[in-house]
Chain A
Amino acid sequence: MSKNEEKKLRKKAAILSAKNGIREGIIDFLKKSMDRNIFDAVLIPMRVPADDSFTYVLIRDKNLLKNAFPLPPVMSIQGGKAVSSITRLGKSNIKIAAVMRPCEIRATIELTKLGQTNLENITLIGIDCPGVLPLSDFLNNPEEGMRLFDDAVSRWDDRIMRPVCQMCDKSSMIVGDLHIGFLDAEKDSFFIISNSQKGSDVIDKLSITPQADISSWQTKVEKISEKKHKKREETFRELKSKIDGLDNLLDTFSQCISCHNCMKVCPVCYCRLCYFDSDKVKHPPEDYLERAKTLGSIRFLPDTLLFQIGRMIHMSLSCVSCGSCEDACPMSIPVAQIFSMVADETQSMFNYVSGRNLEEPLPLTTYKEDELHEMEDTHG
């Protein structure tokens, strides 16, 4: 496909009705798509039976769609993990639409590059993301949390959202096959924007006219991204002063209890056996004692910081700043903010944005003869 053709595809957008609200509009669109056999099933968040949280559900029975929540107030499960759970061992034989936030789609794309998902027969549908509430805040009072979230979304006010969401400058990034945009759309409607042949085919099959002008949506998105980008720089400035140097880093991670929840919920940490859970980190008693004797004492278990930095090195090029790690940390360490900051720096070195495009190879799998000379200079 030529660059021009690709551009044309990207611009293909249609307006869909949302008379009964955006949620109903999206559900209606999904239902119609299932009616026309465009999709056999939909992967989308739903409330759990106790109504106190949300989870991804793969829906085949159209009647269940009425309970779907395309924009739940929390990210209890990262969507990338959900797609990987279904397709890690092979391609799906049924056609699935996965409705997720942009950072979840970006994680899915990274996982695909890493060979952990198979996107054949999967259509990724992204959506303008207002952010999510910190999981623990929501769980303390789910009813109130829902009310606060709805209210904040209606004003597109991110102040009660997670810190990592407040500074997310990719909250409307078009990364899936389709993107649902409702920022600045006419009342009672939303845009469905195609971003790939797969997405374009969906619009065609639904026989909707893809002639919407999304320039006002684009302007709004740019404005929001700009604002959030400023917030991002501000947050990183503050964060940097707090964690700069080894002593500050140690202090920041001092309360880590090595539960590895962060790793377990991270969509990018896919290793079957993490190095830091392997036999490599289990030593005979005399080794621990020798280390203690050198310093007078060692924290036990040792190497808390080694785990954090090791994990950072392993995944920062693919980190999508989704915030799951911070949500799952029982010690409330600002781990997502720190990882997000480092990820920005490592990714920009390679002009790489994790999950932006499936065609962009992972930087560590490519070789360029002419790059990173500044490192050579420093290290001779």
Chain B
Amino acid sequence: MVKALKINKDSEQAVIDLLKLLLEDNRIKGVLTLKKINKKGDVAYTLITRPDELDDAVPFYPLMPINAGKLLSRFTLKGKTREPIIAVVKPCELRGFIELVKRNQGNLENLFFISSTCGGVYPIKMAVDGVVKNNLSRYWDAVKKNENAADLRPACKGCEEFIPYTADMTVDLIGKNDLDKQCVILLNTKNGEQLVRNIKLGEFIEGELDKEKLDKLRVKREKEKKKIFDEINAKINGIDGLIDIFGRCIGCHGCMRVCPICYCKLCEFESPDSEYTPSNYELELKKRGGLRVPPGILYYQLGRLTHVSISCVGCGSCEDVCPVNIPLTSIFKKVGESVQELFNYIPGRNLEEDIPLITFEKEEFAEIEE
């Protein structure tokens, strides 16, 4: 049991009210959250400093236009924020940010996090078609019933990491039948507790997540994940399978650009190292008779996979943004989890856990030596 704040209101509205109070009380100076940005109802992450701007906030909108971990990295890349900021993010976004902080690409100081048990999000293509808003009631019905909503992204359908690890506050949403009448915000950290101390909103109680209920969803998600992984496994069978699945890649590198883990200033695959002289082409041409131009599609994909898999949080951004519909997240998540399992590492779980590749243990992987 932890301390919790219970507010008798619709959960999303309650969080908006809390954020407003925090801003008005000057306990925080800014909020990063999803917000409706125009009359059409398009939703984007927004940095809000004036309380009334929160009227159009939609902190739990089932969409991830950009992984907020990437945004928070941009926000604190040049140094810590001197003024306290609170961000409402999804569990995988928070994990993405923690991985970036481990890589010195962000600064946690003076940042507070609200997250929630996460019902997943819709593909961004549904936002293009403007149909997310028509699905909202169906989405929340599924969340209340402890189920996967239809048409979620594959990354979300099979996501077992739907409980945030390091959030200061966790809003209990999944399987909560009365989430439109009552909001329970668990205060997980001292910082979180302190931030809302004596706030004039709702009542303080003792609370905890219903683990048993959440385990039921986890079982469903595990099944979904297995299905997705099995499908990918059947498709990717050796180098030919890889060529088949990545063959349609147009080299836009959108996947890399939206990936919260791909933080390199200059990607190897966009550097002069990946440019070839005409003689390079001629030499290769002699060997093969024919050569794809520009070359290196598979090299890029496998290279990126090698670079990010230890920290891949399976957020789904890469697959969302791919203009040629390659099931990138399914592939990256599958490989990512296999690599992470080897090191008993869950990316973004804990800031104190070192990234496996920077640690050395004398006794490990003897089987590989053999």
Contacts and interface: CB of A to CB of B under 8 A. Distances in A.
B142 interface: no
A89 interface: yes
A282 B38 CA distance: 25
A283 B77 CA distance: 8
B293 A86 contact: yes
Interface stretch (A5-13, A291-299, A307-315, A355-363): A291-299
| Interface size grouping (class) on chain B | 35 or more
B30 interface: yes
A254 B40 contact: yes
A350 B127 CA distance: 40
Given A53-B247, A255-B128, A285 B80 contact: yes
A327 interface: yes
A139 interface: yes
B277 interface: yes
B340 interface: no
B345 to A, nearest CB: 28
Contact of B52 (A91, A250, A296, A332): A296
Contacts of B29: 289
A49 B47 CA distance: 46
Interface stretch (A31-39, A56-64, A217-225, A231-239): A56-64
A89 B277 contact: yes
B251 interface: yes
Nearest to A121: B278
Interface string A86-104: 1111111110000000000
| Chain B facing A: main interface SS | mixed
A330 B250 CA distance: 13
A167 interface: no
Contacts of B240: 49
Contacts of A76: 248, 250, 324
Interface string A61-87: 101100000000000110001100111
B243 interface: yes
A44 B257 CA distance: 29
Nearest to B32: A300
B325 interface: yes
A264 interface: yes
Interface string B23-53: 0000001101001011010101111111011
Interface string B276-301: 11110110011011111111000000
Residue in B44, B45, B52 whose Cβ sees the most chain A Cβ within 10 Å? B44
A297 B29 CA distance: 11
